[in-house]
Structure 1
Amino acid sequence: MSSNDTSVSRRSVLKAAGGAAASASVAGYVDTGSADATRQQGGGSVTYARGNDSGTLDPQNTTSGEDVKVTNQLYDTLIEFKPNQTSLREGLATQYSMDGTTVNLTLREGVTFHNGEEFTAEDFVATYRRFTDPDYQYYPGDSYVSAYGPFTLGNWVESVSTGGGSAAMQDQTTTDGGQGTATAEGGQGTATAQGGGGGQGSYTLTIELKETYAPFLRNLAMFASSVLSRTAIRRHVQDDNFSLSTNPVGTGAFRFENWDTGNQRIRLSRNPDYWGEGPYVDEVVFTAIGSNNTRAQTLISGGADIIDGIGAQSSQIVRNASAAELVETQGINIGYLAMNMATFEPFRDRRVRRAISYAVNTEAIVNTIFQGIATQASQPIPEKVLGYNENIDPYPHDPEKAKQLLDEAGYGNGFEFELATFQNPRTYNPSPIQAAQTVKSNLSEVGITVNINQMPFNPFLTYTEQGKHDACFLGWMTDNADPDNFYYALLHPQVSEDKLTQGQDWVSWDTEGFNTLDVAAWANREFMKLTEQAQSTLQRSKRAELYKQAGQIAHDEAPWVFIDHAKELRGVANRVQDFQIAPISGPLLNRVKLQQ
């Protein structure tokens, strides 16, 4: 998820890579005071224009960066990324530490949700169970929760317990006001609430992991770990007129006002009770404008304050404007073409996949279509991520080599397949239709017919998550700046080896527990073992070496055509102050001010 705004400065930052890094214990300590009461209050309305509308405003219901741009304004996480950096800091937790498999957190007191209810540890228990536990009475269903549930929390957590408060509150429909412990067990782990009598919740959390998992603290800072209101979670299931996908209830800097789906506009208002920095504007409006150039012209004419999804031509429009500036940084992302081995038999042959990688001219896509706002990719992670293998080069454009491999695989006469693509620009693919047409032309030169199937982004995500594609364009903007967020999230099927068929390196989409973000349905045993070993390795240099080996396998086995790593570009109106591109978890609109 795809996640959101991305850039990097991180060889040093990833000393805490995966929340543990060189030691088995990582901690953060801060003043537990509330938000600065003397902070300056600004005003005005900021319009943020992007290429596509949201599909949902529930962070547990999405893998889309478009959705996350909005939910990041509405929700908070226990741990956060420092503004415009990739290192960690306190969020809803004022202290946090990980020692081996035990994570301890002290929570911030006096924080309220947008519905006026106080945030406590029990809200996180409900959030965790709703996302990972099918036996939980408020679990919204397998088809509703996103693939983030397992790889963010569910696969790793053994139990979550609360304590230190003055009340015991089960995460069920009743409240236990007596002494003792209330425990709720589900399919993914155990959630426990502890305390004495009274009417308040607790402010400490202990999370026990099933095994050592280096990136866990970073996972707690991801958008998918956003803390939901326990009351809202119950309403989502019990009240037919209420859904968190259209009625978000968080603790964030902005509150939800309305969503005009017809005009693709989402309106948020300033949360006057926000515990953190800002916000300094009264209102944020997200609007969708499909054309890159139209979006740029809207910025220049004053119809928008910040725009993203900028391509090569539109970036020049902004760069040459006097009313706005182009802000850019190198992103932590990957754009790729995935080949679905489960549904399209020719892709099961490595020679075919490699042939397509040789046939597609990724250098031309990057230099001619993307025009310098991206660099060629050779592996699943960009250069500055821990474990990048500098000895791997991108596949060269070599149609003759491609034809040779197709002949060897028995497909010398070619074949025909569908390439599914989104229509609207994405950071990692700002011109998807032009890029698809280039792939179609390249592959026709080696006898392969490509049928382009283009669709709006939200239906496209549903289509690919259900495995209906033969091949598809996709990409990823990091959620936590850890290599695990690429390798495990996108290329590991996340099923146990006993569920894999002997002698094949792909897995069926109907396999129980299959990771639908692995849109190639790839299941390479050696790659899986390396990424699993890296998850439990705390020493940074050893982790890096394991990921270098995994990158080599991914390159050689070619489940994807590795296309590009793109710059992050934003157009910003002159009247906007203090906007910076966030490496992760942006846009940070609570920090933005307007010239009065």
Structure 2
Amino acid sequence: MADGDNGMERRDFLKTAGAATAAATTTATAGCISSLTGGSGGGSLVYARGDHPENYDPQQTTSGEVAKVTNQIFDQLIQFQPGSGGQLSDGLAKSDGWTLSGTTATLELKEDVTFHDGSDFTAADVKATIRRFTDENYQYYLGTENASGYAGFTFGNWVDSIDASSEYTVEFTLTQKYAPFLRNLAMFAAAILSQDQITSLDDQTALGTDPIGTGPFSFDELDNSNQRVRLAANDDYFGDGPNVGEVIFKTIGQNSSRAQDVVNGDSHITDNLGAESSTTIEEADTAQIKSKPGINTGYMAFNMARKEAFRDRRVRRAISLAVNTEAIVNDIYQGFAVQTGQPLPEGVMGRNPNVEPYPTDKEQAQSLLEEAGQTDIEFELATFSNPRGYNPSPIQTANQVKSDLEEIGLSVNINQFSTFSSYLDYTSAGNHDACFLGWYTDNADPDNFLYVLLDPKVDMDAVPDGQDWVSFDTEGYSTLNVGGWANTEYMQLVRDGQSTYDEATRKQKYQQASKLAHDEAPWIFVDHAKTIRAINEAVVSDSFTVSSVGGPYLELVELQ
């Protein structure tokens, strides 16, 4: 997810600002916050973040910035346990009320849940939610242009039919055996919407400005002029919490300013901090860093569909050898991440223990370019501006890549985007030659990396013989694969892996796929980042749990 910090990565994903803009944003929001702190119902919890999306429909985005908010408003059928590495627990489905056998998944639903508008939650809401996301024949279908890339790999590719004839039982018939299906039901994009709201809207895209869910907080105010979102406590929530009266998401583009905001007590929690801003927190008496190993990946993708030179594996490997990812991780990220040579991070089944990061070898890189007859390459490198967890210093990272490649005679033109939403629009359209991106797992399953990010989701027959790429306009293509890579051997391995329920077999398939991805180098594999949060002393420390998948679990947070 999105950052996807979930991300995915989804597929967590940022609003940049100059110093004046950041200061203005801080001032504009701080006055509003101070007047609310200490209010009824446990006070106001303020979460500072780097970007302000204006649409909070979980079916229209891959952005982790959106997921931070929608995870407070909506529930999924199954949830991830806070702080776990992806262990499943009950959500809208009863505890242990789910089974997956063959091509049938059955879930028993809780009967005491209501939406924020007071309507009862039933199986009909589940069916309407999924049809809105995936069914072109549904009257209230969101539409291919509006639905995010999650539509296919969450439900659309796998759900053949849904039986919601019983009020509190849902039975899915799948198109094939699909091992990650139950985990997919816990992803942020699998949030269950209100059928009443869906059927009341003339324009489905409008749901994102007034979302109605069953979650611990209801949507109260979308203040775009001040880049702020206010959520109110749901006193009828069926789960634990909430322990505060409201949550306010405020936007501060610069991570140094955002860190100082936590130190000052003007916000309580923040994320996506770089080395310098983390030091600010660590040296303060009023705040602390909380972290854990992340389940994410950061990379630079080669767009083979656009840049012909990148279709030669020798060129991709040459660039991977030329870019000093060790310097990026150790010197620029300063220990907040680990270097990698494959898509899967530690702790995820299928990571290949025998695959090492590419060494920095510019001499070998030049030799490969000469062998390929590609010694005079010029390309655009698109980058976002403000930090992501997997890339806390994107401009410095881009400059490092530019400098390294200039040493072997290549020309890199950095294309810097000011907002993350416009950046995602650009890369999803395939307009880049190369780009930085990353992914926070949506479900802690290897399929969520290897299939979601590197399989194009097209039919095998759509890949021409002798070719390992396809264009973005190929039928069924998923733009989460921002490189156009379509290696049929790799595709077969990950598709075999997702269709077996035997864990040992899955592990073997994914280790082979990880090695193949390393060798074929569709990305420069950069890093796996730690999951880092900063909290102010006003937060009861044990009440905030850092989670590498799902969350943030703000309903559990207590203020002193």
Give how far 1:67 is off. Answer: 0.7
| Aligned twin of 1:101 | 103
| Aligned twin of 1:280 | 243
Matches within 5 A, 1:377-456: 377-412=340-375, 414-455=376-417, 456=419
Contact 1:268–1:284 at 8 Å: present in 2 too? Answer: yes
Q: What is the alpha-carbon distance in structure 2 between the residues aligned to residue 375 and residue 494 of structure 1?
A: 29
| Aligned twin of 1:22 | none
- Residue by residue over 1:479-513, the C-alpha shift from the partner in whole angstroms, topping out at 9 and shown as x without a partner, is 00000000010000101112222221001111111
2:252 alignment partner, one of 282, 289, 296: 289
User: Does the alignment pair 1:317 with 2:280?
Assistant: yes
Q: Give the AA of the match of 1:420.
A: A
Q: What is the alpha-carbon distance in structure 2 between the residues aligned to residue 138 and residue 353 of structure 1?
A: 44
Contact 1:265–1:285 at 8 Å: present in 2 too? Answer: yes
State the secondary structure of the residue aligned to 1:521.
coil
State the secondary structure of the residue aligned to 1:542.
helix
Matches within 5 A, 1:143-162: 143-162=145-164
Contact 2:4–2:62 at 8 Å: present in 1 too? Answer: no
| Aligned twin of 1:226 | 191
State the secondary structure of the residue aligned to 1:276.
coil
1:464 alignment partner, one of 398, 416, 427: 427
State the secondary structure of the residue aligned to 2:426.
helix
User: Does the alignment pair 1:208 with 2:173?
Assistant: yes
TM-score scaled by structure 1? 0.86
Specify which structure has the higher proportion of helix. Answer: 2
| Aligned twin of 1:141 | 143
Matches within 5 A, 1:225-304: 225-236=190-201, 238=202, 243-304=206-267
Contact 1:5–1:587 at 8 Å: present in 2 too? Answer: no
- Residue by residue over 1:182-206, the C-alpha shift from the partner in whole angstroms, topping out at 9 and shown as x without a partner, is xxxxxxxxxxxxxxxxxxxx11111
Contact 1:3–1:585 at 8 Å: present in 2 too? Answer: no
Q: Give the AA of the match of 2:62.
A: T
State the secondary structure of the residue aligned to 1:501.
coil
Give how far 1:55 is off. Answer: 4.2
Contact 1:73–1:590 at 8 Å: present in 2 too? Answer: yes
| Aligned twin of 2:43 | 44
| Aligned twin of 1:83 | 82
TM-score scaled by structure 2? 0.92
1:574 alignment partner, one of 530, 537, 545: 537
Q: What is the alpha-carbon distance in structure 1 between the residues aligned to residue 164 and residue 457 of structure 2?
A: 29
Give how far 1:110 is off. Answer: 2.3
Q: What is the alpha-carbon distance in structure 1 between the residues aligned to residue 158 and residue 396 of structure 2?
A: 41
| Aligned twin of 2:552 | 587
Q: What is the alpha-carbon distance in structure 2 between the residues aligned to residue 258 and residue 527 of structure 1?
A: 46
Q: What is the alpha-carbon distance in structure 2 between the residues aligned to residue 392 and residue 136 of structure 1?
A: 46
Matches within 5 A, 1:49-60: 49-60=48-59
Q: Give the AA of the match of 2:368.
A: L
Give unpaired runs (5+ residues) of structure 1.
8-40, 165-201
State the secondary structure of the residue aligned to 2:493.
helix
| Aligned twin of 2:466 | 503
1:486 alignment partner, one of 449, 452, 470: 449
Give how far 1:468 is off. Answer: 0.7
| Aligned twin of 2:11 | none
Q: What is the alpha-carbon distance in structure 1 between the residues aligned to residue 292 and residue 369 of structure 2?
A: 39
| Aligned twin of 1:179 | none
Give how far 1:239 is off. Answer: 5.2
Q: What is the alpha-carbon distance in structure 2 between the residues aligned to residue 523 and residue 90 of structure 1?
A: 37
Q: What is the alpha-carbon distance in structure 2 between the residues aligned to residue 586 and residue 52 of structure 1?
A: 17
Contact 2:41–2:244 at 8 Å: present in 1 too? Answer: yes
State the secondary structure of the residue aligned to 2:530.
strand
**Percent identity of the aligned residues?**
54
Q: What is the alpha-carbon distance in structure 1 between the residues aligned to residue 483 and residue 175 of structure 2?
A: 28
Give how far 1:207 is off. Answer: 0.6
Contact 1:493–1:518 at 8 Å: present in 2 too? Answer: yes
2:492 alignment partner, one of 524, 529, 551: 529
State the secondary structure of the residue aligned to 1:207.
strand
Contact 1:268–1:283 at 8 Å: present in 2 too? Answer: yes
- Residue by residue over 1:82-139, the C-alpha shift from the partner in whole angstroms, topping out at 9 and shown as x without a partner, is 1211111111011111122111111111211112211110011011111111121111
User: Does the alignment pair 1:71 with 2:70?
Assistant: yes
Q: Give the AA of the match of 1:561.
A: I
Give how far 1:3 is off. Answer: 4.2
Contact 2:6–2:67 at 8 Å: present in 1 too? Answer: no
Q: What is the alpha-carbon distance in structure 1 between the residues aligned to residue 69 and residue 6 of structure 2?
A: 15
- Residue by residue over 1:151-180, the C-alpha shift from the partner in whole angstroms, topping out at 9 and shown as x without a partner, is 11111111100133xxxxxxxxxxxxxxxx
| Aligned twin of 2:295 | 332
Q: 1:235 to 1:159 in 2, by over 3 A?
A: same
Give unpaired runs (5+ residues) of structure 2.
8-39
Q: Give the AA of the match of 1:68.
A: A
Q: Give the AA of the match of 2:385.
A: Q
Give how far 1:234 is off. Answer: 2.1
The structure with more radius of gyration: 1
Q: What is the alpha-carbon distance in structure 2 between the residues aligned to residue 500 and residue 141 of structure 1?
A: 26
Contact 2:48–2:251 at 8 Å: present in 1 too? Answer: yes
Contact 1:90–1:96 at 8 Å: present in 2 too? Answer: no
1:113 alignment partner, one of 115, 121, 125: 115
1:559 alignment partner, one of 503, 510, 522: 522
CA-based RMSD of the aligned residues comes to 1.3
State the secondary structure of the residue aligned to 1:533.
helix
State the secondary structure of the residue aligned to 2:526.
strand
Give how far 1:54 is off. Answer: 2.2
Runs of 4+ in structure 1 displaced over 2 angstroms?
A: 3-7
Q: Give the AA of the match of 2:156.
A: G
Contact 1:235–1:243 at 8 Å: present in 2 too? Answer: no
1:125 alignment partner, one of 122, 127, 138: 127
Q: What is the alpha-carbon distance in structure 1 between the residues aligned to residue 138 and residue 432 of structure 2?
A: 33
Q: Give the AA of the match of 2:119.
A: E
Q: What is the alpha-carbon distance in structure 1 between the residues aligned to residue 267 and residue 168 of structure 2?
A: 41
| Aligned twin of 1:514 | 477
Q: Give the AA of the match of 2:551.
A: G
State the secondary structure of the residue aligned to 2:298.
strand
Q: Give the AA of the match of 1:214.
A: A
Contact 1:507–1:522 at 8 Å: present in 2 too? Answer: yes
Contact 1:42–1:594 at 8 Å: present in 2 too? Answer: no
State the secondary structure of the residue aligned to 1:163.
coil
Count of aligned pairs: 522
Q: What is the alpha-carbon distance in structure 2 between the residues aligned to residue 285 and residue 487 of structure 1?
A: 35
